[in-house]
Amino acid sequence: MSDTEYTFITTREAGYQEPVYSELRQPLIAGDKHPCDVTKDVCAPLEGKPTGAWYAGFLCAFSALMVGVLLVVHQIWTGIGTWGLNKTVGWGWAITNFVFWVGIGHAGTLISAILFLFRQKWRTSVNRTAEAMTIFAVMCAGIFPLIHMGRPWLAYWVFPYPNMRGPLWVNFRSPLLWDVFAISTYFLVSLTFWYFGLIPDLATLRDRARGLRKKIYGFFSLGWNGSFRTWSRYEIVYLLLAGLATPLVFSVHTIVSFDFATSVIPGWHSTIFPPYFVCGAIFSGMSLVVSLMIIARKVMRFEDYITVRHLDAMARLILLTSCIVSLAYMTEIFTAWYSVNPFEQFIFANRAFGPYGWAFAIMMTCNVLIPQLLWFKKARTTPMLLFPITVFVNIGMWYERFVIISSSLHRDFLPSSWSYYSASWVEVGILLGSFGLFFTCFFLFCRFLPMIAMAEVKGVLGYGKKSSE
């Protein structure tokens, strides 16, 4: 498909063209694998009995999810008053968590779509898991606006549907409604993209399974038989979906940032928000992908597939986005000073040195300072060093959203209503519950679906090897 990847030479005697790979390229998959090794290695964790570690992890995640469910029931039963919100700070942890989870979701589409368009073939080892994370993260994100409504059974009111209340429609000019469209489109398109990529692998699982498993995998693999005429169309559709998902991923976090940027709150009302948010999203999402991959490659013995080279490539992306996010922080502070607008200047001084200064310090340390370690090759290629860095980045990125939301709101235009917001135990529990939901889904995914896109990995096995024929 990509002629840029290798040059074709015509062997006159043989009468056909054969790709010649550069010797400078290193193999993407270690261990000199044959396609049937790939099938065996990737299917192995799905076909045996789950290990004790899987049960332990799943039980922890599921317990956290149940804590979240109970607290959501408590919150809906009693009311939003169970949260720490007050008149001044009407958006707290719920929106912080929403933006955090949507951000996490962006790495999946980056890896599956954008890196695909850039012909980054190393993506094949990590795209399936990253796409799965996208879907689970968007599910977690969706919960927060839903429960913040207070009456979630009326959530369908956010969709435009014909009704008997006279001519009455949702306000299409509201950024909150744009969010509804952006997030639901993102969820549906990501799910389609993920499932579409899964079909050939489901067929592989079907042909190896027996009994009920065979029936279930058979149902979802749509009668896939590896026909090349289908493959040929399949690749076109994959390319089209990647092309559509790329502008989509930019639009989603742009629209999320509009929730803030189109308001007239100092600290939010800023044209830099869309690129700043998109970069931050990729930054945090990529970090979570790396964190989970470092664990998964060890536990599931995928070291040959997710090599140190893959970690290095992702760490470079984390470093790049960290630098862009740092630049955005500096630009915001500079703009506040240069604008000579007393409200802007106050909000930024208050953000750094006011009551939320501690959160600002955590954000700066985790997002600006710690990722600078990634300039060192040793930090990028040693999993034990890379893991803590990526965890710190996610802590920092959660705090970034918290800082933007709480510190911009808590001292509003009327000093008599200045206040301080801190989360109640219910909010802490619901955040824990969202992590529970994410990891419950993730553990089920590891158990029932192939974590590595087998058909795609088989296609890049020869990559970087000198053709022997």
Partner 1 sequence: MTNVFATFNDEHSLLAAARSAREEDLVIVDAYTPYPVHGLEAAMGIRRSRLTYACFLFGAAGLIGGLGFQLWVFMVNWPMNVGGKSLNALPALIPVAFETAILFAALGTVVTFFAVARLFPGKRASLAAEGITDSQFVLAVESDDGERAKEFFEDQGAVKVEMEEIS
Segment 166 to 195, residues that bind partner 1, using CB under 8 A? 167-169, 171-173, 175, 177-178, 181-182, 185, 188-189, 192-193
The count of other CB atoms within 10 Å of the CB of residue 377 is: 10
* Binding-residue total with partner 1 (CB under 8 A): 72
Mark the segment that binds partner 1 (CB under 8 A) among 251-259, 377-385, 405-413, 434-442: 251-259
263 near partner 1, judged by CB under 8 A: no
CB of 225 to partner 1, least distance (A): 5
List the one residue out of 404, 398, 346, 396 whose CA is nearest residue 89.
404
- Distance CA(51)–CA(202), nearest Å, equals 22
Mark the segment that binds partner 1 (CB under 8 A) among 49-57, 244-252, 291-299, 313-321: 244-252
For residue 172, give the DSSP letter: T
List the one residue out of 306, 308, 286 whose CA is nearest residue 297.
306
Query: What does the block give as tokens for 275?
Result: 């690129």
Burial code (b: 16+ CB inside 10 Å, e: under 16) for 223-234 equals: ebeeeeeeeeeb
Q: Which is nearer to partner 1, 87 or 229 (CB)?
A: 229
142 near partner 1, judged by CB under 8 A: no
207 near partner 1, judged by CB under 8 A: yes
Mark the segment that binds partner 1 (CB under 8 A) among 34-42, 298-306, 327-335, 398-406: 34-42
Whole-Å CA distances, 282 to 102, 145, 275, 293: 10, 22, 11, 16
231 near partner 1, judged by CB under 8 A: yes
Mark the segment that binds partner 1 (CB under 8 A) among 143-151, 165-173, 276-284, 297-305: 165-173
- Distance CA(469)–CA(4), nearest Å, equals 21
The count of other CB atoms within 10 Å of the CB of residue 222 is: 11
Q: Which of 4, 13, 23, 36 binds partner 1 (CB under 8 A)?
A: 36
264 near partner 1, judged by CB under 8 A: no
237 near partner 1, judged by CB under 8 A: yes
275 near partner 1, judged by CB under 8 A: no
1 near partner 1, judged by CB under 8 A: yes
Mark the segment that binds partner 1 (CB under 8 A) among 14-22, 126-134, 303-311, 391-399: 14-22
Tell me the angle at which helices 357-364 and 383-402 cross, rounded to the nearest 10 degrees: 150
Tell me the angle at which helices 342-353 and 357-364 cross, rounded to the nearest 10 degrees: 80
226 near partner 1, judged by CB under 8 A: yes
- Distance CA(32)–CA(38), nearest Å, equals 10
Query: What does the block give as tokens for 375?
Result: 């300039």
Q: Which is nearer to partner 1, 44 or 240 (CB)?
A: 240
Question: How many Cα atoms sit within 13 Å of 139 on the Cβ side?
Answer: 18
Query: What does the block give as tokens for 85?
Result: 């919100």
- Distance CA(453)–CA(305), nearest Å, equals 10
346 near partner 1, judged by CB under 8 A: no
430-459 residues in contact with partner 1 (CB under 8 A) are 455-456, 458-459
CB of 106 to partner 1, least distance (A): 15
Q: Which of 55, 118, 157, 219 binds partner 1 (CB under 8 A)?
A: 219
Q: Which is nearer to partner 1, 206 or 410 (CB)?
A: 206
304 near partner 1, judged by CB under 8 A: no
Whole-Å CA distances, 209 to 48, 213, 216, 302, 348: 12, 6, 10, 21, 60
CB of 176 to partner 1, least distance (A): 11
For tokens 């008997």, what's the residue? 164
Q: Which is nearer to partner 1, 63 or 251 (CB)?
A: 251
Question: At 371, which amino acid appears?
Answer: P
35 near partner 1, judged by CB under 8 A: yes
294 near partner 1, judged by CB under 8 A: no
CB of 98 to partner 1, least distance (A): 17
Query: What does the block give as tokens for 462?
Result: 């020869």
44 near partner 1, judged by CB under 8 A: no
